[in-house]
Amino acid sequence: MDRALVIGAGPAGLMAAEALSQAGHPVLLAEARPSVARKLLMAGKSGLNLTKADPPETFLTAYAEAAPHLRPMLEAFGSDAVQDWARGLGQPVFTGSSGRVFPEAMKASPLLRAWMSRLGAHGVHLRTRWRWTGWQGEAVCFDTPDGRVRLTPPVTVLALGGASWPRLGSDGRWAPLLTEEGVEMAPFRPANMGLTVIWSAPMARWFGAPVKGTAQRAGGGWQRGEFVLSRRGLEGGAIYALSRPLREGAALEIDLLPDVTPAQVVARLSRNRGKMSLSNHLRKTLGLTGARLALVQEFARPLPQEPQALAEVLKALPVRHRGPRPLEEAISTAGGVRWAALDEGLMLRARPGTFCAGEMLDWEAPTGGYLLTGCLATGRWAGQAAARRL
């Protein structure tokens, strides 16, 4: 029997397979790696952030210029629907103080096990170590452990991921295959990525230290939150959220005292410090200690002695960095299949019957649940469109 074919067993591919199987179609799910959803499992190690409990319009703004394209998909399967979907897999969820939504189990593995069990019961047949190698005429070709395989399914959904974390399967090797078919592509760029910083030797003691209680600015964007000092530079959500302006060359400034006004900082620094060192004065008057104080000494040496000038530094500490970490280290990527190459059902105009979903599309979203929700929503949308074509 001819089957619907889904290539890529990450969140978007699994959701496309689910939509097709719910419509009554047998599905062959092909995955290049030995197991499914490796990136999802890795992301869930520190707590699987499923979605964000934002109002729909607020949620959409996270997708910037891609929001008009994604709107119908996210209206059909947005934050509330993601939460209901997880509960339907036996995974209760909770909403944290920041609005981020997590399964109570926190990890991805219980949800993934339940999902794969349900897909199998609904007629989804998984084949691992099947690497897609493109088309020969109408045939979809794979390299498999049993040799070369050629299939001619009536519909195919491509959910091939981006170009980050290649060891987990998102290597972008599929892009030239689509380009050969005349599909217009936007170049891959790192998103949700860290920054490279060449540290002085004394900073080594702070590697791995979280920096809390700060706000970051870049290119007009402002983000309050935590980041981490690593051997390679700066990592963490507060940096990832500013990926776009930083990637485009914007300067990064850190407000080390976001809850204290500039005038209050000046007033505290103007107190008589006697024989105290300036570092001790900063500790005593402003509570600057640990990694925050180390950052001041790293990026503002020699420190201004005059209170007004020093306050300006502390409220807008300039960070010397060497740009984004490499593409393969990014959590996700911008770029991919351009929207103009797709119809309203995410079908490739250059190859009717072939649909695209997930991170391989030309959109990006910050971490915090937006990325995963976008992948689930586009996977479901493409799967339903493929089912209608069948």
- The pLDDT score that the predictor gives to residue 368 is 87
Q: pTM (2 decimals)?
A: 0.93
> 215 exposed, middle or buried (CB, 10 Å; 0-12, 13-18, 19+)?
middle
- The pLDDT score that the predictor gives to residue 360 is 97
CA angle 202, 203, 208 (to 5 degrees): 140
302: preceding bond cis by omega (within 30 degrees): yes
Task: Give me the mean pLDDT over the 130-159 stretch.
Answer: 97
Task: Give me the mean pLDDT over the 216-232 stretch.
Answer: 94
For 307-334, how does the pLDDT look when each residue is reduced to its tens digit (9 = 90+)? Answer: 999 999 999 999 999 999 999 999 999 9
β-strands 93-95, 124-128: how paired?
Answer: unpaired
Q: Which helix (H) or strand (E) holds 146?
A: none
Task: Give me the mean pLDDT over the 97-105 stretch.
Answer: 94
Task: Give me the mean pLDDT over the 5-17 stretch.
Answer: 98
Task: Give me the mean pLDDT over the 126-146 stretch.
Answer: 97
pLDDT band at 240 (very low <50, low <70, confident <90, very high): very high
- The pLDDT score that the predictor gives to residue 2 is 60
For 38-87, how does the pLDDT look when each residue is reduced to its tens digit (9 = 90+)? Answer: 999 988 788 899 999 999 999 999 999 999 999 999 999 999 999 999 99
Q: How far is 222 from 242, CA to CA, in rounded Å?
A: 8
Other residues' Cβ atoms within 10 Å of the Cβ of residue 70 = 22
Q: How far is 32 from 132, CA to CA, in rounded Å?
A: 7
The answer to whether residues 14 and 155 touch, using CB atoms and an 8 Å cutoff, is: no
Residues whose CB is less than 8 angstroms from the CB of residue 153 and which lie 6 or more positions away in sequence, other chains included: 2, 3, 4, 5, 28, 140
Q: How far is 40 from 8, CA to CA, in rounded Å?
A: 13
DSSP code, position 301: P
| pLDDT at position 105 over 50 | yes
Structural domains of the chain, with CATH = 4-190+330-389 (3.50.50.60), 195-319 (no CATH)
Task: Give me the mean pLDDT over the 304-308 stretch.
Answer: 94
pLDDT band at 1 (very low <50, low <70, confident <90, very high): very low
